[in-house]
Structure 1
Amino acid sequence: MKRIKLGNSELEVGEISLGCMRMNELDKKEAGYVIENALDVGVDLFDHADIYGKGKSEEVFSNAIDMNDDVREKMKLQTKCGIREGLFDFSKEHILESVEGSLRRLKTDYIDSLLLHRPDALVEPEEVAEAFTTLKESGKVRHFGVSNQNPMQMELLNKYLKQDLIVNQLQLSIVHTPMIDAGFNVNMQNDPAVVRDSNVLEYCRLNDITVQAWSPFQHGMIEGPFVGNKEFPEVNAKLQELAEKKGVTDSAIAIAWILRHPATIQPVVGTMNQERLRDIAKASDIELTRKEWYELYLAAGNELP
Structure 2
Amino acid sequence: MQPLLTTYPTAGAMVFGCMGLGGDWNVPDISADARRLSYQALDSALEQNFTLFDHADIYTRGKAEQVFGDYLALQPGLREKILIQTKCAIRFKDDEAVGRYDFSAGYIRQQVELSLRQLQCGYIDVLLLHRPDPLMDVYEVAAVLDALRQEGKIRNVGVSNFGVPQLQLLQSAMTQPILVNQLEMSLAKIDWLEQNVLTGMTEGASHFFGYGTVEYCQQHQVQIQAWGSLAQGLFTGGKAPQTPAQQQTAALVLKLAALYQCSPEAIVLGWLMRHPAGIQPVIGTTNPARIKACAEARNIQLSREHWYALYVASRGQPLP
Query: Structure 1 residue 76 and structure 2 residue 76: aligned?
Result: no
Contact 1:187–1:193 (Cα < 8 Å) also in 2:
no
Tell me how far 1:238 sits from its aligned partner.
0.3
Contact 1:166–1:209 (Cα < 8 Å) also in 2:
yes
**SS of the residue 1:27 aligns to:** helix
Give the counterpart letter for 1:304 in structure 2: L
**SS of the residue 2:194 aligns to:** helix
Tell me how far 1:192 sits from its aligned partner.
5.8
Query: Structure 1 residue 115 and structure 2 residue 128: aligned?
Result: yes
2:216 and 2:37 map into 1 onto residues whose CA distance is 40
Contact 1:186–1:193 (Cα < 8 Å) also in 2:
no
Change in 2 beyond 3 A, CA 1:192/1:260? farther
1:177 and 1:108 map into 2 onto residues whose CA distance is 37
Change in 2 beyond 3 A, CA 1:120/1:28? same
Tell me how far 1:109 sits from its aligned partner.
0.2
- The aligned counterpart of 1:4 is none
**SS of the residue 1:176 aligns to:** coil
Contact 1:113–1:141 (Cα < 8 Å) also in 2:
yes
2:263 to 238, 249, 272: 249
Contact 1:27–1:60 (Cα < 8 Å) also in 2:
no
1:50 and 1:271 map into 2 onto residues whose CA distance is 18
Contact 1:183–1:193 (Cα < 8 Å) also in 2:
no
1:230 and 1:193 map into 2 onto residues whose CA distance is 22
1:31 and 1:8 map into 2 onto residues whose CA distance is 29
- The aligned counterpart of 1:22 is 20
2:109 to 96, 113, 126: 96
The count of aligned residue pairs is 294
2:181 and 2:15 map into 1 onto residues whose CA distance is 14
Tell me how far 1:30 sits from its aligned partner.
2.4
Instruction: Map 1:218-229; keep pairs closer than 5 Å.
Output: 218=231, 224-227=232-235, 228=237, 229=240
- The aligned counterpart of 1:142 is 155
Instruction: Map 1:159-178; keep pairs closer than 5 Å.
Output: 159-178=172-191
Give the counterpart letter for 1:12 in structure 2: P
- The aligned counterpart of 2:229 is 216
1:155 and 1:291 map into 2 onto residues whose CA distance is 35
Contact 1:184–1:193 (Cα < 8 Å) also in 2:
no
1:82 and 1:65 map into 2 onto residues whose CA distance is 25
- Mind listing any 5+ residue stretches in structure 1 that lack a counterpart? 1-6, 219-223
2:137 to 86, 100, 124: 124
Give identity over the alignment, percent: 36
- Mind listing any 5+ residue stretches in structure 2 that lack a counterpart? 24-32, 93-98
Contact 1:217–1:225 (Cα < 8 Å) also in 2:
yes
2:74 and 2:149 map into 1 onto residues whose CA distance is 22
Give the counterpart letter for 1:22 in structure 2: G
Give the TM-score of the pair, scaled to structure 2.
0.88
Tell me how far 1:301 sits from its aligned partner.
2.5
Query: Structure 1 residue 87 and structure 2 residue 84: aligned?
Result: no
- The aligned counterpart of 1:271 is 285
Give the TM-score of the pair, scaled to structure 1.
0.92
1:175 and 1:29 map into 2 onto residues whose CA distance is 32
Change in 2 beyond 3 A, CA 1:192/1:246? farther
Query: Structure 1 residue 151 and structure 2 residue 164: aligned?
Result: yes
Tell me how far 1:188 sits from its aligned partner.
1.2
Which has a greater percent of strand? 1
Instruction: Map 1:160-199; keep pairs closer than 5 Å.
Output: 160-191=173-204, 195-199=208-212
- Structure 1 consecutive aligned stretches of length 4 or more whose deviation exceeds 6 Å: none
Give the counterpart letter for 1:50 in structure 2: D
Contact 1:67–1:108 (Cα < 8 Å) also in 2:
no
Change in 2 beyond 3 A, CA 1:28/1:65? farther
1:58 and 1:264 map into 2 onto residues whose CA distance is 27
